[in-house]
Amino acid sequence: MVETQVWRVDPNAPDLEHTPQIIAAAEKLVQGEIVAFPTETVYGLGGNAKLQDSVRKIYEAKGRPSDNPLIVHVATLEQVRDICTEIHPIAKKLIDTFWPGPLTLVLPSRGEVSNAVTAGLSTVAVRMPSHPVARALILASNLPIAAPSANLSGRPSPTRADHVFYDLDGRIAGIVDGGETGVGVESTVVDCTTTPITILRPGGISKEQLVEVVGAVADDPGLTRSDQIPKAPGMKYKHYAPQAMMYLVPSGKEKICELVATEKNNGRRIGVLTTEENRDSYPDADVVLVCGKRSEPATVAHNLFDVLRRFDQKNVDAIYSETFSEEGIGKAIMNRMSKAAGGRIIE
């Protein structure tokens, strides 16, 4: 066990890079310790991407399988060129359009980062976050920072510092508390070493947005299969799961009400994950939690992981969830929900 420090910072403060809290957190990273920090997507658990021991601490703190690669967070193009052999024209076009932001690019590795970051692959996943706290921490440490989500492996990703503290207190050196994150689901991961480029994980940038910029975009078979070597986080293992069994119910409200009634007759405590539009549709459920507005999918993405964690506090035996269109960010939402449910769908 280690003492986990918490540094609270105002993300809107001027000259964040030189604030005492950011400097203290950056010093921990330079010393080889691991520190959680906010990005525009979720909180990340960061360590020096070039230091094997630091990366090992990330895997140990999370209980994460070591064949699951990590994303390297950078603040400048110079840092990208330091760890990648090339940035070809399509990758540069994506960088110019979407960076800084929730897009991760898989590029050829120069071998500068720890092989624990790349899981032994010849590629490295890189992104430039737009969150001011994340950027200040990278600049203050002058390091490329390897950072998966700052949660225990398999748990819902953290969108607030208290989520991180609940999972990782005593396991990590510190948490930079910069308030609630924005997007709420992790970055989109795109393999730029293929033709056409390939989406390895849907996220904050939609396929439609990518197509608009570069034309042809493929979906990786690993999005639906688990027998392949993962080239990016979130492709292989169960993720985002609440403690109770979760089931997706595409057929909608009437079926969910029927399932709730059956389970209640069996003496079970049942939760329903719904939207603002349907919050009053499940009077027999023990717990009804709203994850956003169906008419505004971005609100669902923003709240999803927080709602999954709130179910854990309600001691439900099972969770039945509405589903969403896979247009735009809906693809990322349904990807996370399917993994949270372990693929359990009730037609």
94 close to 71: Cβ distance less than 8 angstroms: no
Using CA atoms, how far residue 86 sits from 18, 105, 203, 309, in Å, is 32, 12, 24, 40
Buried b (16+ CB within 10 A) or exposed e, 84-112: beebeebbeebbeebbbbbbbbbbbbeeb
Burial of 83: CB neighbours in 10 Å, binned 0-12, 13-18, 19+: buried
Structure tokens, 200:
């390895």
Rounded CA-CA distance 84/68 in Å is 19
The answer to whether 47 and 58 are in contact (CB under 8 A) is yes
User: Which DSSP category does 346 fall into?
Assistant: -
**Which residue type, as a one-letter code, is found at position 117?**
V
- Ranges assigned E (strand) in the chain: 5-8, 35-38, 43-48, 71-73, 103-108, 123-127, 145-146, 174-177, 188-191, 197-201, 217-219, 245-248, 270-274, 287-290, 318-321
Place of tokens 């372990």: 342
Give the pLDDT score at 227.
47
Domain ranges of the chain: 5-223, 245-340
Q: Would you call 313 exposed, middle or buried from its count of C-beta atoms within 10 A (0-12, 13-18, 19+)?
A: exposed
Residues of 46-68 as b/e, b for ≥16 C-beta within 10 angstroms? Answer: bbbbbbeebbbbbbebbebeeeb
CA–CA gap between residue 243 and residue 64 (Å, rounded): 18
Tokens standing for residue 306:
């927080």
State the pLDDT at residue 224.
Answer: 56
What CATH number does the domain located at 245-340 have?
Answer: 3.40.50.11030
CA–CA separation, 136 and 312 (whole Å): 33
**H/E element, 60:** helix 52-62
* Residue 188 Cα distances to 61, 98, 112, 220, angstroms: 24, 11, 23, 12
Beta-strand pair 35-38/174-177: parallel
Scan for tokens 């076009």, then name that residue.
93
Please determine whether the domains at 5-223 and 245-340 fall in the same fold group of CATH: no
Q: From the first residue on, what is the mean pLDDT of each consecutive set of 10 residues in the chain (347 residues)?
A: 96 97 98 98 98 97 87 98 97 98 98 95 97 98 98 95 98 98 96 97 97 97 60 59 96 96 96 98 98 98 97 96 97 96 94
DSSP 174: E
For domain 5-223, give the fold: DHBP synthase (3.90.870)
Angstrom distance (rounded) from CA 123 to CA 106: 6
8, burial (CB in 10 Å: exposed 0-12, middle 13-18, buried 19+): exposed
Residue 230 pLDDT: 54
Instruction: Tell me the two tokens of residue 102.
Output: 């929730």
Distance from C-alpha of 329 to C-alpha of 337, rounded to nearest angstrom = 13
